[in-house]
Amino acid sequence: MVEKAAELEKKYRQLEAELSAPDIYSDMERYTALTKERKELQPLMDALARYRKAEADYRSAEEMLGDSELGELAREEYAAARADMERTEEEIKILLLPRDPLDDRNVIVEIRGGVGGEESALFAHSLYRMYSMYAQNRGWKIEIANLNETELGGIKEIDFLVSGDGAYSRLKFESGVHRVQRVPETEQQGRIHTSTVTVAVLPETDESEFHLDLNEVQIDTFRSSGAGGQKVNKTSSAIRVTHLPTNTVVECQDERSQYKNKARALSILASRLAAAEREKQEAAVSAERRSQVGMGMRNERIRTYNFPQGRVTDHRIGLTLYKIDSVMNGELDELIDALLTHDRAEKLKEG
């Protein structure tokens, strides 16, 4: 593994040399591509530097093991350096795993109320708030494409775009059924209700990689709908696009510009169709090769939010956190990091 990392170090040095060339800024497209490639290699180079330092400390301590005066200190340094080498070598193994080519994409998140009526819609709103706060914490940008609210402030459905560095890599395991157990505000007798909300996370599709035939798309305009109030658009600028061969429907009504709504609706439609195509291809692959973390399946129950017990449980990896308030306020890194670690461990087993 270390030898493979050392080979990639040559490529990293070459990238640095090219980026230092005086004329590099004359070709901004190439400059951007090289900068991105160097950034992707940086964590591996940092780990390799740590490994080499630990290895040097290990060799140095090894030479002093026979010294009668420094023997005890040398043994401690020897053991510590060896542990550092082993730990960093594992880190290098993970960094050498093939990257998901979609990881750097922006994402389209679709949240739909499920079982539970108004309580489900209220929890859909809670999940949107949770993801919004997480995005804000990471410096990402959120743009709502479609929003269908209820009179009590819940959300029947919402589609929104999350733009930012590594958005898909951090959110891709959020797809599935989210279950909530809590006492609804409308419940007079204090009984706990169980409701569900579905979340789908789609990587935004590049126009160059997926061709959407507009001859197969029906485009309709309508007035924005909603719970009422100032948010409702009085003009017919909302757009509904239907992919006729698959009957896939996308609505966009957040922008007041019909042109912007149409462009965003077509973008979301292309992303949905591309995701469906990827799912079809993945289904053809043997079940053993699919990640055990699971993602993208709308009917898969992935997580339970139990408010009376103050816990959040991710069923895919058996992780329970007794910090539901923090999680609902967008502090998702502990959950997401655990999912990523599990996914990498499974890939290492397969490799």
Q: Which CATH class is domain 2-95?
A: mainly alpha
Does residue 300 contact residue 294 with C-beta atoms inside 8 Å? yes
Q: Which residues of 322-339 are buried (b: 16+ CB within 10 A; e: fewer)?
A: eebeebbebbbeebbebb
Residue 291 confidence (pLDDT) above 80: no
Cα separation, 33 vs 323, whole angstroms: 41
Q: pLDDT exceeding 70 applies to what percent of the chain?
A: 86
Please state the φ and ψ torsions of residue 185, each to the nearest 5 degrees.
Answer: -65, -25
- The string of pLDDT tens digits covering residues 159-192 is 999 999 889 999 999 999 999 999 877 666 778 8
CB proximity list for 144: less than 8 A, separation 6 or greater = 158, 159, 160, 254
Residue 322 confidence (pLDDT) above 50: yes
Task: Check if 2-95 and 107-345 are the same fold.
Answer: no
107-345 topology per CATH = Alpha-Beta Plaits (3.30.70)
Residue 36 confidence (pLDDT) above 80: yes
Does residue 315 contact residue 304 with C-beta atoms inside 8 Å? yes
Residue 288's pLDDT is 39
> Residue for token digits 């193994």?
93
Mean pLDDT of 134-143: 95
Cα separation, 55 vs 49, whole angstroms: 10
Query: Any bridge partners for residue 176, and if so which?
Result: 199
Cα separation, 268 vs 262, whole angstroms: 10
Residue 296's pLDDT is 39
Residue 188's pLDDT is 64
Residue 275 confidence (pLDDT) above 90: no
Residue 232 confidence (pLDDT) above 70: no
Longest dimension (CA), the chain: 88
CB proximity list for 240: less than 8 A, separation 6 or greater = 219, 220, 221, 222, 249, 250, 251, 265
Reduced to 3 states (helix: H, G, I; strand: E, B; else coil), residue 279 is: helix
> Residue for token digits 């964590």?
43
Residue 7 confidence (pLDDT) above 80: yes
Beta strands at 301-306 and 311-314: parallel, antiparallel or unpaired: antiparallel
- The string of pLDDT tens digits covering residues 68-112 is 667 778 888 889 999 999 999 888 888 887 777 888 889 999 999
Does residue 171 contact residue 106 with C-beta atoms inside 8 Å? no
Look over the chain and give the mean of its residue pLDDT values, rounded to a whole number.
84
Residue 289's pLDDT is 41
Residue 199 confidence (pLDDT) above 70: yes
pLDDT class for 284, splitting at 50, 70, 90? low
- The string of pLDDT tens digits covering residues 102-115 is 888 899 999 999 88
Residue 230 confidence (pLDDT) above 70: no
Residue 236's pLDDT is 63
Domain ranges of the chain: 2-95, 107-345
Residue 164's pLDDT is 92
Pick from 213, 205, 346: nearest CA to 264:
205
CA distances from 236 to 157, 252, 259, 343 (A): 20, 11, 12, 45
Residue 98's pLDDT is 79
pLDDT class for 295, splitting at 50, 70, 90? very low
Residue 312's pLDDT is 97
Residue 97's pLDDT is 79
Please state the φ and ψ torsions of residue 285, each to the nearest 5 degrees.
Answer: -85, 150
151 class by beta-carbon count within 10 Å (0-12 exposed, 13-18 middle, 19+ buried): exposed
Mean pLDDT of 194-213: 85
Residue 255's pLDDT is 61
Measure CA 335 to chain center.
Answer: 12
